[in-house]
Structure 1
Amino acid sequence: MPVYIASLNSGSNGNCYYVGNEREAVLVDAGISCRETEKRMLRLGLSMQKVRAIFVSHEHSDHIRGLEVLSKKYNLPVYVTEATSAYCGLIPQGLCIHLNAYSPVKIGDLEITAFPKHHDAIDAHSFMITSGDTRIGVFTDIGAPCEHLIRHFSQCHAAFLEANYDEQLLDQGRYPYFLKRRIRGGKGHLSNSQALQLFIDHRPHYMSHVLLAHLSKDNNDPELALKLFSAHAGNTHVSVASRNVESEVFCIDPTGAATHLDINQVTGQFQFALS
């Protein structure tokens, strides 16, 4: 069964990622407002009625800003670790469900597995989302590529992969020394070169799509990151998840039935072109 993925926003101003099949979907993080989430879903032809749950990676505001309103309006359960939930503000009563690393959660035909990552948050986790034989990774806010990340990335058909900063731009930029040290200190963010090395060393041959995510506004450049990865992309489609607008919707299908989608909202259904 094909899986549809999209970035609704990606960056320090807000993060929200959509992963779903033809029947159900989940959001990973809710860092933009409920209203903006709805607008972007609508423009993409994606239905909020298919969204069954929100999974929270960690408690930083750019990942939970819209969580309370979105969860309450659509009665969506929020899956979050117990330690993180204490820092997420008011999650509507009865909708907070604690998750644990490597304990899969079933949402219809989707299976979501959280695993720990290096980041300066209370109990930060990344996610692997599986539908049938299709595996999607959401890997952002990572200080270093640990063994958990390497193992899961090497199994993905598609991934949202952090490429937060260019080392030279960070060095020459306006950030104070303590912040630069935090970003590259092992519990901050992945640089372009760290993400690229992971991509080169551990990308499976069947990986069809990578969306470069959480790019810094001040310390990176989308064209620079895209050019860097494109030189090593092979058959993998590489794109940049914007910090300002939603991405297109990508169809991930290991059978090769469809690769890129042209989305039109016609009676709420997908219409796509084979490529």
Structure 2
Amino acid sequence: MQLAITSLNSGSNGNCYYIGNEKEAVLVDAGISCRETEKRMKRLGLSMNKVKAIFISHEHTDHVRGLAVLARKYQLPVYITPGTEQRTRFDLGGLVLRPFLAYDPVQVGKLSVTAFPKYHDASDPHSFVVEYKGIKVGVFTDIGVVCEHLKYHFAECHAAFLEANYDEDLLEQGRYPYYLKNRIRGGRGHLANKQALELFMAYKPSFMSHVLLSHLSKDNNDPDLVKALFEANAGDTEVIVASRFEETPVFKIIYSAGTPARKLAPDFGQVQLGLFDELV
């Protein structure tokens, strides 16, 4: 038993992540065009016929740009919260929209998808964990701060797409206006390399085989820098930087038993989220 995972694209220009078993798969977000999604999956030897649903993390354009065309063409149900649906700028008319609730698992064939809330400047943003026969893969991007929800789920994952959006020095010295720098690093924006690394070092379980560093900023990060940073602390975990220009290879995630790192009882109280415009 195994899960196949790939990042079809990761960055402010579009996000789309594939997770599937032998018979069915889901996409988390659809931020690149239908044509590009098809093209990249074909290059990887993946079939759109295996995709049974799309899960939307939040309404920002880089996560929903290709949703309407892709879902209509393949008649795919779209799992999206009412708050996210209302704030989406694209016409979702005619799509099969299904609401989901945090911590209420959704069955897609033999895949189980569980959402949990996160801090981001969107109406109702969520992260996801996809499970199949004990294998867990997390999609943890667009996160302003590491909360108890994230720590808890990261410690259970065999693989994870983990945001490492910016290097603090590059952001501070970069061309962005001051207000935008503050939005990115202000607790409802994105995770810095240092924040992501601290989570990785403290809560990575011994059985985590792959971490895909995701949603890197084009201007405020350096793929070589962040990869070296994580590899120095990765042990047996393979570190991959997800590209904003192309798909990653397909990685096979295999079940391995073990004790999660620093297992904790999380505070699952309501995460208060603000309503803001989209981050650049």
Please give the TM-score of this superposition, normalised by the length of structure 1: 0.92
1:11 alignment counterpart: 11
Uncovered stretches (5+) of structure 2, i.e. residues with no partner? 258-280
Letter in 2 for 1:27: L
Contact 1:140–1:213 under 8 Å retained in 2: yes
Unmatched runs of 5 consecutive residues or more in structure 1: 257-275
Counterpart CA distance in 2 for 1:223 and 1:36 is: 26
Identify the residue that residue 264 of structure 1 maps to in structure 2: none
* Correspondences of 1:215-234 after superposition (within 5 Å): 215-234=216-235
Is the CA contact 1:72–1:92 (under 8 Å) kept in the aligned structure 2? no
* Equivalent residue, structure 2, for 1:263: none
- Check if 1:51 corresponds to 2:56: no
CA shift, 1:255, in A, is 4.9
- 1:101 corresponds in structure 2 to 102
For residues 81 and 94 of structure 2, the distance between their equivalents in structure 1, rounded to whole angstroms, comes to 16
CA distance in 1, matches of 2:135, 2:118: 22
Q: How many Å separate the matches in 2 of 1:192 and 1:202?
A: 15
Q: Is contact 1:71-1:91 (8 Å) kept?
A: no
Instruction: Report the Cα distance in structure 2 between the residues aligned to 1:62 and 1:189, rounded to whole angstroms.
Output: 14
Letter in 2 for 1:253: I
1:117 aligns with 2:89: no
Aligned-residue offset at 1:82: 1.0
Percent identity (aligned) = 64
Q: What displacement does 1:2 show?
A: 0.4
CA contact (8 A) 2:143 2:191 kept: yes
Q: How many residues align?
A: 256
CA-based RMSD = 1.0
Question: Equivalent residue for 1:33?
Answer: 33
SS in structure 1 at match of 2:195: helix
**Displacement of 1:254 after TM fit?**
1.8
Is the CA contact 2:207–2:256 (under 8 Å) kept in the aligned structure 1? no
Q: Which amino acid aligns with 1:14?
A: G
Q: TM-score, normalised by structure 2?
A: 0.90
Following the alignment from structure 2 to structure 1, what is the Cα–Cα distance between the partners of residues 119 and 92?
A: 25
Could you tell me which residue of structure 1 aligns to residue 185 of structure 2? 184
> What displacement does 1:115 show?
0.4
Once the two structures are superposed, residues 204-230 of structure 1 have per-residue CA deviations (whole angstroms, 9 ceiling, x without a partner) of 010000000000000000000000000
Report the alpha carbon displacement of residue 91 of structure 1 after superposing the two structures with TM. Answer: 2.2
1:71 corresponds to 2:71: yes
Mapped to 1, the partners of 2:113 and 2:87 lie a distance apart of 22
Task: Give the distance between the partners of 2:186 and 2:174, measured in 1 at CA.
Answer: 17
Q: Structure 1: which 4+ aligned runs deviate by more than 6 Å?
A: none
